[in-house]
């Protein structure tokens, strides 16, 4: 798999949306922290952490590697949410949202690969 820049859109309980781009280098192995950008296409040099604005959020749209698993870490600690990408992509493609995540500056998130990503 070559480098890809998948997008993930979160939607708040009030309908507000925020979109982030990630940088997947290709065949990303477990432990890889996915660089994230909230202001355009992500690059390898972006930081892996991001915050969500205030409120409660769910994944509304996601693109990217079709297989693999990433875990959402919060404040440097592995969280309980592991995203099987094929499952999440299928769920949101069917018009559903996925998960519930807290917003605000005290919640610092990052995606860490658990099962190697593939196209």
55 compared with 118, residue with greater pLDDT: 55
Nearest Cα neighbor of 113 from 74, 88, 76, 85 is 85
* DSSP, res 29: P
Please answer whether residues 51 and 106 qualify as being in contact, where contact means their C-beta atoms are separated by less than 8 angstroms.
no
* HEC string for 36-104: EECCCCCCCCCCCCECCCCCEEEEEEECCCCEEEEEEEECCEEEEEEEEHHHHHHHHHCCCCEEEEECC
* pLDDT > 90? residue 119: no
pLDDT confidence of residue 33 = 96
pLDDT confidence of residue 1 = 56
* pLDDT > 60? residue 110: yes
Which residue carries 């749209």 as its tokens?
61
pLDDT confidence of residue 64 = 78
- Measured CA to CA, the distance from residue 12 to residue 99 in angstroms comes to 11
- Measured CA to CA, the distance from residue 91 to residue 48 in angstroms comes to 25
Each residue's pLDDT tens digit, 49-84: 999 998 889 999 988 787 899 999 999 999 988 899
When pLDDT is cut at 50, 70 and 90, the band that residue 95 belongs to is confident
pLDDT confidence of residue 16 = 92
pLDDT confidence of residue 78 = 95
Each residue's pLDDT tens digit, 20-54: 999 998 778 999 999 999 998 999 999 999 999 98
């Amino acid at each position: 798999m070559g480098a890809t820049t998948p997008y993930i859109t979160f939607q708040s309980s009030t309908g507000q949306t925020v979109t982030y781009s990630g940088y997947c280098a290709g065949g990303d192995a477990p432990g890889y922290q996915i660089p994230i950008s909230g202001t355009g296409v992500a690059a390898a040099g972006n930081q892996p952490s991001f915050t969500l604005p205030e409120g409660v959020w769910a994944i509304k749209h996601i693109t990217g590697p079709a297989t693999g698993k990433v875990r959402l870490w919060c404040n440097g600690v592995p969280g309980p949410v592991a995203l099987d990408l094929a499952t999440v992509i299928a769920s949101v493609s069917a018009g559903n949202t996925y998960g519930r995540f807290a917003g605000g500056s005290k919640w610092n998130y990052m995606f860490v690969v658990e099962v190697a990503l593939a196209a």
